[in-house]
Structures are given as C-alpha cells and as structure tokens.
Amino acid sequence: MLSRKQLQRYSRQIMLSPVGEAGQEKLARAKVMVVGLGGLGSPAALYLAAAGVGELNLVDGDRVEISNLQRQILYKTNHREKDKALVAAQQLTAANPEIVVHAHCRMANEEWLAAQLAEGALDLVLDCTDNLAIRHIINRVCFESSTPVVMASVRGFSGQLVSFDFRSASSPCYACLFPAPADTDLPEAENCSTVGVIGPALGIVGSMQALEALKFLLNLPVSSLNRLQLFEAASLEWRSLTLSVNSACPVCAKALQKAE
C-alpha cells in the first residue's frame, strides 16, 4: 500500500487510469538497469527515478569531462573528474530519496552483465551506450537471460529507438537487424566524440526510452517493441520499421540450439 507521501509525490501519474495505485506499486517493486549514463542515460534515469521505479542500477566506467556538459544533463561543472555512476546516483537520490540507487563504476562486460541478470534479478535493461560492441553484448546477455531491453542511439541529428521482450520465444533481437561484425572487421568507432551530436535530440530519445521502460513495467503496449523507431531532429519526423526474426541471426540460432 502506498504511503500518504507517495500518493502525494506520484499523484499526477496515479491519476492516469493505466497507472493508478496498482501501477505505482508495480513501479515501486521494479528493478531496472541503465547501462551508459551519458546523453541518453541522463534523461532516461532522471525520469525513471522521478516516476518512482523502486531500484535503479547505474552502470558507467567513465568520469565526467567538461565536453560532456553540453548534453549530459545529470552533471554540473563541479562534477568534473568524478565517476559518472557515483554522481548520477547522488543526483537521483537527491531527486527521489524513496528509491534505491546502486552505482556500478565499471563498463558492462559480458561476464559481469550475465551475472547481474542471472535468475531474473532485473526486470528491464536500458541500453544507453554509444559503443557498438557493448550494444551487442547487452543484446546477447539480455536474450539469453530473457530480460527485456530498450535500446537507443543518437548520431548528429538522427536517433534510433527499439525494444525487445526476450521473455517471448518469438522475439527478434538487435543482431537480427544489425549483425555483429567479425572482430577483424570492426568498423571505426562512431560516437558523439567522433561525429558530434545535438544535445536536445539525446534528450528526446532518452526520454522516449524512459517512456517505453515505464510502459514495459506497467504492462502497457510498447510502441517500439520489435519496431525500429527512427527520429530526425532536423525535420522533427519519426519513421518506423517492423522487425522480425532473422533466420541467419547467430544469437537467435544459438538460443534455438540450446532449447533443442
């Protein structure tokens, strides 16, 4: 049962019939991981904390740099050279002291991430990274642990958003759409530091990640589920592409082999 203080804090979303007190209690029980606390992870984590998601696990091995401040809205100038995960945890706890926030000052390699997601330990993962190799690791581990994931990226003025519910045996995965390159064919890194990015586009797409995450946790229809949502900030246009399982996908094929 929600306390009087919780009813007051979350009153505006409790008013919504798809949420209500029962939905707010679901959010309070939810455990979510946000991987990457930059331009996407900042707004996503802020909105999840404000909405009352009960436990947030924040994962990032970087420290705050002055060049981050143009778009990473969790941080201030006096946070320079401090661990992003620790600063983010402090900021979110200050915004909502009723939730539990864990800071993981490290990069999410495959072994560590698999241990964190073992036995249904988390309800949802948000991939807010800007690294293709890590994104494929998140995809594989979430697939193998049947953990839903909301993934996003932004380059320049262009953003992408897609969600997968790996609790469903018929779900496609990120590798169905974008196969992981062989180690010998890894492309040159393209991220904010190499191609640039407009800050508000990250805010828009990161907020959409939080929105889709809340809908997942509330068992509401998720608009980006198995649909690649493409956002062009220059024209304020959205397009979407429906995804299906790729029979040649090595991630899905590996899972099928295990099932057999």
Active site residue 192: yes
Q: Residue 175: which domain range? A: 4-259
Lowest mean pLDDT among 18-32, 176-190, 242-256: 176-190
Residues 6+ apart with CB under 8 A from 254: none
Using CA atoms, how far apart are residues 133 and 151, in angstroms rounded to an integer?
13
pLDDT given at position 184: 45
Q: Which of 128, 192, 249, 252 is catalytic?
A: 192
**Domain count for the chain:** 1
pLDDT digits (tens, 9 = 90+) for 179-202: 988 754 445 455 666 779 999 999
- The mean per-residue pLDDT over the stretch 34-44 comes to 98
- Tell me, what CATH number does 153's domain have? 3.40.50.720
E strand segments, 13-157:
31-35, 55-59, 100-104, 124-127, 149-155
**Could you count the other beta carbons within 10 Å of the beta carbon of residue 98?**
14
